[in-house]
């Protein structure tokens, strides 16, 4: 199983849209996919047509170790399972304060079912708290959706440094693999400037052993598309809501890109010191 955390501590950048629709495209291609809702707002759960108020357990119970991942995960579409969230998840962070090993509960829970799925995608909350730490400890890689506007890079360095710390202390497998530009408008000049800034920053880490030394901007962008914004309120993926739109085309390409990558061996980092990211913001 390949576990991908969809992460950005900012809200409204396209995390949930990316998690749902990439997972749906992978599932439609015949792969077994689990999506995990680690955001108390439960947008992923709602997007897949479930009502959080009727969810008795889900990710909250798995994190508080009162239920098994395998029992809580629900089949919601062919090949697509969800570990749903509800508002109880807000309390998980404080309830776990005195639990030893609280950062690795999710990792241990999903390792037990590792062979059942080809992919698991974790939709993170817009914070870098304990819930997100659990996602980072469980993940093999990170996909960062980013909206290329003028504040896009604010906090980006901190995000990468957090990932690097988790990589060094808790999860040596963890790598930032991709930056996905969401709500992209290629006619505006700013997105291209933001893109150039990110590329310059990522280049500064090439050949180091930091967790983002292999990161790249995905060659596929998600164009701004109203259908993507409408689909969640119908509890539908973009492929169910409108097969033939830019949003469906783009997320299908993202899934293809991710899946193609998994069949390529990743290059080995050399042993230079980690990049600090201090030249960014
Ligand atoms: P996050 O999970 O990071 O908070 P969302 O995926 O929920 O972000 O996206 C934020 C809002 O933008 C949602 O209303 C979503 O439907 C909308 N949205 C996401 N991607 C696009 C897009 N490419 N074009 C238009 N609207 C989008
Ligand atoms: Mg979200």
**Diameter over CA atoms, the chain:** 51
d(CA 188, ligand 2 centre) in Å: 25
Which atom number of ligand 1 is nearest to the Cα of residue 229?
A: 16
256-278 pLDDT tens trace: 999 998 766 555 444 444 444 33
220-246 pLDDT tens trace: 999 999 999 999 999 999 999 999 999
Residue 89 has φ and ψ, to the nearest 5°, of: -60, -25
Enter the pTM of the model. 0.93
122-181 pLDDT tens trace: 999 999 999 999 999 999 999 999 998 877 788 898 999 999 999 999 999 999 999 999
Which atom number of ligand 1 is nearest to the Cα of residue 39?
A: 2
d(CA 18, ligand 2 centre) in Å: 9
Which atom number of ligand 1 is nearest to the Cα of residue 224?
A: 24
9-18 pLDDT tens trace: 999 999 999 9
Contact assessment for residue 136 and residue 36, using Cβ atoms and an 8 Å cutoff = no
d(CA 125, ligand 2 centre) in Å: 6
Using a 6 Å cutoff on CB, does residue 43 contact ligand 1?
yes
| For ligand 1, atom 27: residue with the closest CA | 229
Contact assessment for residue 163 and residue 126, using Cβ atoms and an 8 Å cutoff = no
Beta bridge partners of 179: 144, 217
């Amino acid at each position: 199983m390949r576990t991908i955390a969809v992460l950005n501590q900012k809200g409204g950048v396209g995390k949930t849209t990316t998690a749902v629709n990439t997972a749906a495209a992978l599932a439609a291609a015949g792969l077994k996919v689990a999506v995990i809702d680690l955001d108390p707002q439960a947008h992923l759960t709602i997007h897949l047509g479930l009502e959080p108020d009727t969810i008795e357990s889900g990710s909250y119970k798995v994190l508080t170790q009162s239920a098994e991942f395998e029992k809580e995960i629900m089949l919601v579409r062919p090949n697509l399972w969800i570990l749903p969230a509800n508002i109880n998840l807000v309390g998980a962070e404080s309830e776990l304060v005195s639990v030893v090993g609280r950062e690795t509960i999710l990792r241990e829970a999903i390792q037990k079912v590792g062979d059942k799925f080809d992919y698991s995608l974790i939709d993170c909350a817009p914070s870098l708290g304990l819930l997100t730490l659990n996602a980072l400890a469980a993940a093999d890689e990170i996909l960062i959706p980013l909206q290329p506007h003028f504040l896009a890079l604010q906090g980006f360095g901190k995000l990468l440094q957090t990932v690097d710390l988790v990589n060094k202390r808790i999860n040596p497998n963890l790598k930032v693999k991709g930056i996905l530009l969401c709500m992209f408008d290629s006619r505006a000049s700013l997105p291209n400037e933001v893109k150039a800034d990110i590329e310059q920053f990522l280049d500064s880490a090439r050949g180091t052993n930091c967790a983002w030394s292999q990161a790249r901007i995905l060659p596929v962008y998600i164009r701004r598309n109203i259908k993507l914004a409408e689909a969640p309120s119908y509890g539908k993926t973009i492929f169910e809501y409108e097969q033939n739109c830019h949003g469906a085309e783009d997320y299908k390409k993202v899934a293809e890109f991710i899946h193609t990558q998994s069949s390529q061996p990743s290059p080995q980092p050399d042993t230079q010191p980690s990049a600090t990211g201090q030249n960014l913001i």
